[in-house]
Amino acid sequence: MKCLTHSSACRTAATAAVLLLGVALLPPNAGASGLGGRVQGTEAVTSANWGATASVTSMTFTTNTFQTSNVTNTGTVALVAESFVVTISKPVFGAPTFKVFRCAVPWVATKCSGGAGTQIGGTLAANSTTTVTSVLALAVGAVEYLQVEPATVFTSTTVMLSPRIAAPSQVRAAIHTNQ
Amino acid sequence: MTQSNDPEKKERRYGRIAVAGLLTTSVGLLAAAGVYAGLSATATGSEAVSSGTLNLTLSPDVGVGFSNFAAKMAPGDTDNVYVNLNNTGSLASAAGMTLSVTGAPSNALTNGSVAGEGLTVTATQCSVAWTLATGVCSGTTTPILATTQVSALNVGAALSNVPALVAATGQLAHVQVSLGLVGTETSVNGVAPASTIQGLSTTLTYTFTEQQRTGVATNQ
């Protein structure tokens, strides 16, 4: 197509072409001042879970018979200690007391490997809430065996066991990796 | 040859002389003008120039550099990687290098949604290469980024002491980048809190950015 230089359309087209060429020749970062350098690195990471789960969390005592609960490390990181919030109801009659013992193996006929096990905390009174802590290393999936031993129970009394795992104090020692 | 004394003839002769003079002058002027139009004078000078480059490279210092942390990170754990930042361009960089860290996906590890918890980053420069086995710097250490929550690094954070960090051409910085996890939450009977940093995964992207030195005006 022949472009007549005196025509308005031709001048418009020529102007547009010049502008487009100018834009095309501009550097990509024409608005930025100077040069910039940038480097990147990536690192994938996954956080652990920490927690312990009790097989029995509520025990009702009407006699002085011992009861047990198995506490499993259901997290993905080893534990160095486990806490339990022990809540004891107020019986209608009497003032029972309770003790909590732990064992590394299942209780057999109220005995821990033939012994009494290790007491966690002191003697707990009725109508109280107490946190007791078991300083026992517990690998992932490992089980800690608890036994609650009542005394002077005459009427129904409920003991609630609630495992609590707090980080970082009850999680294994920190690991420092150099890679 | 006789000379006429006729005044009329004299005037005609003088007129012819004047016309001839004018013609001669015109031709001369035209010739001069022609010569002038044919000549030109040009002065040239040359100046060679090359543009500089600003190249920042990232490579392992010791170990594998940025890589995945294989284990599950517990609160208090740290994962140290050692990288070299090298200005391999021909231009020095300006002060003000920044580091940004972003996580994909964004979650409680990286976005600060659980107050006081999440991943942290610390960066330290060593005057010599780091010792991988111990994570110790046998030279002089210079902190360039205090422990900072990743959630605060989504936008670039200025690294301190940057003038000493790859500011000059060819200068190498040995940097330890330490990733940590802060966690203060308690799980109840195996259940994490509703807002938790536990059991989450993310891929962090560390971006170091530098700018060229300021422009130089030269008079020579």
DSSP state of B22: H
What is the CATH class of A52-164? mainly beta
Backbone angles phi, psi at B33, to 5 degrees: -60, -40
Q: Which two structure tokens, joined as six digits, stand for B96?
A: 């003000």
Q: What residues of chain A lie within 8 A of the CB of B74, using their CB?
A: 47-48, 50, 77, 167-168, 171-172, 174-175
- Nearest chain A CA: its distance from B160 CA (Å): 17
Q: Is the minimum CB–CB distance between B93 and chain A shorter than 8 Å?
A: yes
pTM above 0.80, yes or no: no
pLDDT at B30 over 80: no
What residues does each domain of chain A span? Answer: 52-164
**Of residues A45, A141, A51, A132, the one with CA closest to residue A87:** A132
Amino acid of residue A70 = N
- Whether domain B56-184+197-209 has CATH 1.10.3470: the reply is no
Q: Is the minimum CB–CB distance between A40 and chain B shorter than 8 Å?
A: yes
**Of residues A51, A67, A71, A95, the one with CA closest to residue A159:** A67
Q: Which two structure tokens, joined as six digits, stand for B1?
A: 């040859």
ipTM of the complex: 0.79
Pairing of strands A143-151, A52-54: unpaired
Q: What is the pLDDT along chain A (179 residues), one digit of tens a residue?
A: 444 445 555 455 545 444 433 433 333 333 346 888 899 999 999 999 999 999 999 999 999 999 999 999 999 999 999 999 999 999 999 999 999 999 999 999 999 999 999 999 999 999 999 999 999 999 999 999 999 999 999 999 999 999 999 999 999 999 999 99
Q: What residues of chain B lie within 8 A of the CB of A39, using their CB?
A: 56-58, 85, 207-208
Q: CA-CA distance, B23 to B192, in Å (whole number)?
A: 115
Q: What residues of chain B lie within 8 A of the CB of A44, using their CB?
A: 68-69, 201-204
Q: Is A69 exposed, middle or buried (0-12, 13-18, 19+ CB in 10 A)?
A: buried
pLDDT at B96 over 80: no
